[in-house]
Amino acid sequence: MPADPLHRAGKLQRSTTSQPPSGSRASAIEVRRSARRRRTVSAYREGDRTVVLIPARMSEAEEQRWVTVMLDKLAAQESKRRLGDAELAERAARLSDQYFGGRARPTAVRWVTNQNTRWGSCTPAEGSIRLSHRLQGMPEYVVDYVLLHELAHLLVPGHGPRFWQLLEAYPRTERARGYLEGVVAADRLPHPPVARDE
């Protein structure tokens, strides 16, 4: 089992993996039972899997009920995080006001599905900003960083010292960059083969 900060101390009693209900975002659900966990149930996404952490004493029926509850809860959280194009444009305006004194004013800000090697792009001559759909569902501070990065390009086209100086105003720049670097690194890792039902 890979290192999991929630289970460093061990005492994992049982871990099961199953296919999710139809329509679920994840391709597999892994239930991890722990003797140390008494009452709480939690869940998180790990790549294309959903990991649900439950107390070891739970019955199979309780496990199934909690898996459903936690999948619904994660889906609700993720849908709240997904912004439409109008909300994205409003957010860009707020970020420009807060960090750039309102000087970066894009003419259009929208999500696109054709950027698989970049997180965002900007065309300063047109004033348009496009963010990759792959950012949807990522933490807000990461989306804000990418928006600020592209807004900064409206003021400074290249990646020179003046550009990076603008981004220093955002206190989570390094954290967001680290997060995105981690996502890129994880995508490069080999994926274990998926077991097929015979």
For the entire predicted model, the pTM comes to 0.58
Exposed/middle/buried for residue 194 (C-beta within 10 Å: 0-12, 13-18, 19+): exposed
Task: Tell me the mean pLDDT in the region 141-160.
Answer: 94
Q: Which pLDDT belongs to residue 8?
A: 33
Task: Tell me the mean pLDDT in the region 8-33.
Answer: 54
Instruction: Annotate the chain with DSSP letters as a single string.
Output: ----GGGTT--EEEEEEEPPPTT-SSSEEEEEEESS--S--EEEEETTEEEEEEETT--HHHHHHHHHHHHHHHHHHHHHH---HHHHHHHHHHHHHHHHTT----SEEEEESS-SS-SEEEETTTTEEEEEGGGTTS-HHHHHHHHHHHHHHHH--S-SHHHHHHHTTSTTHHHHHHHHHHHHHHHHSPPPPPP---
Q: Long-range contacts of range 126-130, CB-CB < 8 Å, 24 or more positions apart?
A: 127/154, 129/92, 129/154
Residue 122 has pLDDT above 50, yes or no: yes
- pLDDT tens-digit profile of 57-79? 999 999 999 998 888 787 767 65
Mean pLDDT score of the chain: 81
Task: Tell me the mean pLDDT in the region 111-124.
Answer: 90
